[in-house]
């Protein structure tokens, strides 16, 4: 039974633990002074933990493979500001020792509820061609179930079961909230939000740990999604060619820059807004994760998080800092103004 989780590391600093993890990465590295050591990345549903094994690791390296569950014994400590575990024992875990729910993080929101809300937005579409395009994906017996369970990423944002659906739903919400202020077609914008990452159901695998498939490594989710879109459009023929081009452009350009993996730059109002909001939504999901990790690590409200590699900076939880030592009061309700467009027709 697993009784230690990554989020508990601060409470177990300088303490020996025996527990179970999913083995994400394992490799032998050379020591600076000669010899070798084992470098590992371990995970459970609460996060990832770097591990090192300095001695007697030959058998473990031969028998423990990436993606399997392992039983470990070792000491929790801090190195360069981050917790890690120094292992003395490592072996494959037996099937009867493992509860899969301990290892895969899951969305805090039920997939059925998120799917129902998303379908509600689709039902309100005025454009029936875009509506039937999206439903052709969601109602597909292979695509639909995978879309509802897949993570949105291996590590960076929404890296949990049903994370892709959660990311898409959050993005649809912010797209609809922003659409009145910009010269965009709301149905087209939301279609791009729903389909922009659909290729991730084939780019990623999530059976035990989150990883990239061979197709994902060789082709990537943007090109995969482009192919999936063209296949669905053929099945739905006749389908408006202009809509196909506009939706495909949003898929190809949603990363925003060539250096971020987009083969095209956003060239329509919908593509520009989708790219900006997708980036913002992903950043705030990562921010939420970093703030939670900082609290779990015992950081004070006035301390920055660890360095966030995807953003190239540490972060400060301003709400937590402002609330530190201040008695909380119920805010007075305020009347929100009606939205107005910044671009009159």
Query: Domain spans of the chain?
Result: 6-102, 111-285
How far apart CA 10 and CA 206 sit, in angstroms, is 28
Residue-wise pLDDT tens digits, 319-330: 999 988 776 566
| Cβ neighbours of 201 (radius 10 Å) | 26
CATH 2.40.50.140 fits 6-102, yes or no: yes
Which residues 6+ apart lie within 8 Å of 335 measured at CB?
Answer: none
How many Cα atoms are found within 13 Å in the side-chain-facing hemisphere of 3?
5
Residue-wise pLDDT tens digits, 289-312: 889 888 877 889 999 998 888 888
pLDDT at position 175? 97
Q: Which residues of 30-64 are buried (b: 16+ CB within 10 A; e: fewer)?
A: eeeeeeeebebbbbbbbbbbebbbeeebeebbeeb
Residue-wise pLDDT tens digits, 215-246: 999 999 999 999 999 999 999 999 999 999 99
pLDDT at position 345? 47
pLDDT at 343 over 60: no
The average pLDDT across 155-167 equals 87
Burial of 281 (0-12, 13-18, 19+ CB in 10 A): buried
Residue-wise pLDDT tens digits, 242-298: 999 999 999 999 998 898 889 999 999 999 999 999 999 888 888 888 898 888 778
pTM exceeding 0.75: yes
> Could you name the CATH architecture of 111-285?
Orthogonal Bundle (1.10)
The average pLDDT across 191-209 equals 92
How far apart CA 297 and CA 306 sit, in angstroms, is 10
How far apart CA 130 and CA 170 sit, in angstroms, is 20
pLDDT at position 342? 47
How far apart CA 238 and CA 129 sit, in angstroms, is 10
Label each residue of 150-219 as H, E or C.
CCCCCCCCCCCECHHHHHHHHHHHHHHHHHHHCCCCHHHHHHHHHHCCCCHHHHEECCCCCEECHHHHHC
Residue-wise pLDDT tens digits, 170-187: 999 999 999 999 999 999
């Amino acid at each position: 039974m697993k009784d230690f989780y990554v989020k508990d590391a601060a409470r177990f600093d300088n303490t020996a633990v025996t527990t179970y993890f999913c083995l994400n990465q394992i490799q032998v590295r050379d020591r600076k002074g000669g010899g070798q050591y084992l470098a590992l990345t371990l995970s459970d549903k609460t996060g990832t933990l770097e591990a090192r094994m300095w001695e007697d690791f030959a058998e473990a390296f031969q028998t423990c493979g990436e993606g399997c569950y392992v039983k470990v014994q070792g000491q929790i400590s801090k190195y360069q500001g981050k917790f890690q575990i120094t292992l003395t024992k490592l072996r494959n875990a037996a099937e009867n020792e493992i509860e899969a729910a301990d290892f895969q993080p899951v969305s805090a929101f039920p997939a059925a509820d998120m799917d129902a809300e998303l379908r509600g937005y689709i039902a309100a579409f005025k454009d029936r061609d875009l509506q039937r395009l999206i439903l052709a994906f969601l109602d597909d017996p292979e695509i639909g179930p995978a879309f509802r369970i897949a993570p949105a990423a291996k590590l960076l944002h929404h890296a949990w079961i049903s994370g892709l659906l959660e990311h898409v739903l959050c993005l649809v919400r912010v797209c609809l909230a922003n659409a009145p202020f910009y010269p965009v077609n709301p149905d087209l914008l939301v279609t791009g939000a729903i389909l922009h990452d659909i290729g991730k159901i084939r780019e990623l695998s999530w059976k035990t740990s989150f990883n990239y498939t061979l197709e994902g490594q060789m082709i990537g989710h943007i090109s995969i999604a482009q192919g999936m879109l063209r296949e669905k459009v053929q099945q739905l023929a006749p389908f408006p060619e202009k809509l196909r081009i506009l939706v495909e452009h949003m898929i190809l350009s949603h990363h925003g820059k060539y250096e971020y993996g987009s083969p095209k730059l956003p060239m329509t109002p919908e593509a520009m807004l989708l790219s900006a909001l997708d980036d913002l939504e992903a950043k705030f999901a990562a921010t939420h994760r970093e703030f939670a990790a900082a609290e779990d690590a015992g950081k004070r409200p006035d301390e920055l998080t660890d360095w966030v590699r995807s953003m190239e900076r540490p972060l400060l939880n301003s709400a937590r800092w402002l609330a530190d030592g201040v008695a909380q009061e119920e805010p007075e309700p305020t009347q929100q103004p009606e939205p107005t467009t910044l671009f009159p027709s």
